[in-house]
């Protein structure tokens, strides 16, 4: 059975949703990133970059065990393993991979930096907040344009490109985004949000979701010296 080493964050939810959509049996191994589980030797052995998510599939290609980190690589692997949610047509397939990379290189990192400077940085730096807010808006505009031309990011088919992007667009008010300004993003988001597998994926590990402000211990784990210790 596939092991999903994960936590209830946008990058973790991508994998939970894909596993649910693809109906692949899996077991979740919680990696509490606020408590420093990502630095434990058993996790570093799977992901030297100490970030969730990661997977271990004892039944990988050729029947041999495979371990993978980086959510984009994981979603491509899972879709190919199940033979679904990645278009077969070569043109649509590359379009799917293009939008998947757009999430990995753009939406995730930029929204993440906005969240950091707006909510977690010890001092409010207007330049940083404004820069990442502008990037968040710009990326919504790019998605809006694409989704005004196609039903899904890859084209006619719902795919891993949609699954990988969706968790980062949840809770738009946290990024000062009003979906009414992006009607096609809204239409697309609501269609994904209503899928039963997406609901199940979003519920995984949520009992561990922190409420209220970040603790000093978690702040140190996520943003302090521990992150930057040579390993
Ligand atoms: N590019 C990576 C990003 C993974 C990532 O940033 N994960 C965050 C949670 S959403 C994490 O594990 N943070 C722990 C830390 O910063 O120590 C991916 O897509 O898998």
From the CA of 145, how far away is ligand 1's center (Å)?
A: 28
From the CA of 51, how far away is ligand 1's center (Å)?
A: 4
Instruction: For residue 48, name the pLDDT band (cuts at 50, 70, 90).
Output: very high
Q: What does R_g of the chain's alpha carbons equal in angstroms?
A: 18
Between helix 160-169 and helix 183-193 the angle, nearest 10°, is 100
48-54 CB contacts, 8 Å cutoff, 24+ apart: 48/231, 50/231, 51/11, 52/5, 52/6, 52/7, 52/9, 52/11, 52/12, 53/4, 53/5, 53/6, 53/7, 53/11, 53/12, 53/14, 53/15, 54/5, 54/6
Per the structure block, which two tokens stand in for 105? 């290189």
Per the structure block, which two tokens stand in for 13? 């939810």
Residue 9 in contact with ligand 1 by CB distance below 6 A: yes
Tens of pLDDT, residue by residue over 86-122, are 999 999 999 999 999 999 999 999 999 999 999 999 9
Q: Cβ neighbours of residue 87 under 8 Å, at least 6 residues apart?
A: 93, 95, 96, 154, 155, 157, 159
Neighbour-count burial for 200-224, b at 16+ CB within 10 Å, e otherwise? ebbebbeeeeeeeeeeeebeebbee
Between helix 10-22 and helix 160-169 the angle, nearest 10°, is 140
Per the structure block, which two tokens stand in for 129? 């907040």
Q: How many residues does the chain have?
A: 231
Nearest atom in ligand 1 to the alpha carbon of residue 38 is: 17
Residue 103 in contact with ligand 1 by CB distance below 6 A: no
The stretches of the chain forming alpha helices (DSSP H) are 10-22, 41-44, 71-82, 90-102, 108-115, 126-149, 160-169, 183-193, 196-203, 216-223, 225-228
Give the per-residue pLDDT at 12: 98
Spell out the domains of the chain, with CATH numbers in brackets. Answer: 2-84+201-228 (3.40.30.10), 90-194 (1.20.1050.10)
Residue 54 in contact with ligand 1 by CB distance below 6 A: no
Mean of the pLDDT values across residues 24-46? Answer: 97
Give the per-residue pLDDT at 22: 98
Chain-centroid distance, C-alpha 13:
6
Residue 70 in contact with ligand 1 by CB distance below 6 A: yes
The whole-chain average pLDDT of the chain stands at 96
From the CA of 53, how far away is ligand 1's center (Å)?
A: 7
Per the structure block, which two tokens stand in for 47? 């992901």
Tens of pLDDT, residue by residue over 176-219, are 999 999 999 999 999 999 999 999 999 999 988 877 888 999 99
Nearest atom in ligand 1 to the alpha carbon of residue 12 is: 10
pTM for this prediction: 0.96
Nearest atom in ligand 1 to the alpha carbon of residue 54 is: 20
């Amino acid at each position: 059975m596939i092991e999903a080493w994960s936590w209830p964050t946008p990058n973790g939810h991508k994998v939970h949703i894909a596993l649910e959509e693809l109906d692949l049996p899996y077991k979740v191994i919680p990696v509490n990133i606020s408590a420093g589980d990502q630095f434990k030797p058993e996790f570093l052995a799977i992901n030297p970059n100490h970030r969730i998510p990661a997977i271990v599939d004892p039944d990988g290609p050729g029947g041999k065990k495979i371990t993978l980190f980086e959510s984009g690589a994981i979603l491509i692997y899972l879709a190919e393993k199940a033979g679904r949610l990645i278009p077969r047509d070569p043109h649509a397939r590359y379009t799917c991979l293009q939008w998947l990379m757009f999430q990995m290189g753009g939406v995730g990192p930029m929204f993440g930096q906005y969240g950091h400077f707006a909510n977690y940085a010890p001092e409010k730096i207007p330049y940083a907040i404004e820069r990442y807010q502008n990037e968040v808006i710009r990326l919504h505009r790019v998605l809006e344009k694409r989704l005004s031309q196609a039903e899904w990011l890859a084209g006619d088919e719902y795919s891993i490109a949609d699954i990988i992007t969706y968790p980062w667009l949840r809770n738009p008010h946290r990024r000062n985004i009003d979906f009414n300004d992006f009607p096609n993003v809204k239409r697309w988001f609501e269609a994904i949000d209503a899928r039963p597998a997406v609901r199940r994926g979003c519920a995984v590990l949520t009992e561990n979701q922190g409420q209220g402000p970040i603790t000093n211990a978690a702040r140190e784990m996520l943003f302090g010296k521990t992150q930057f210790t040579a390993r």
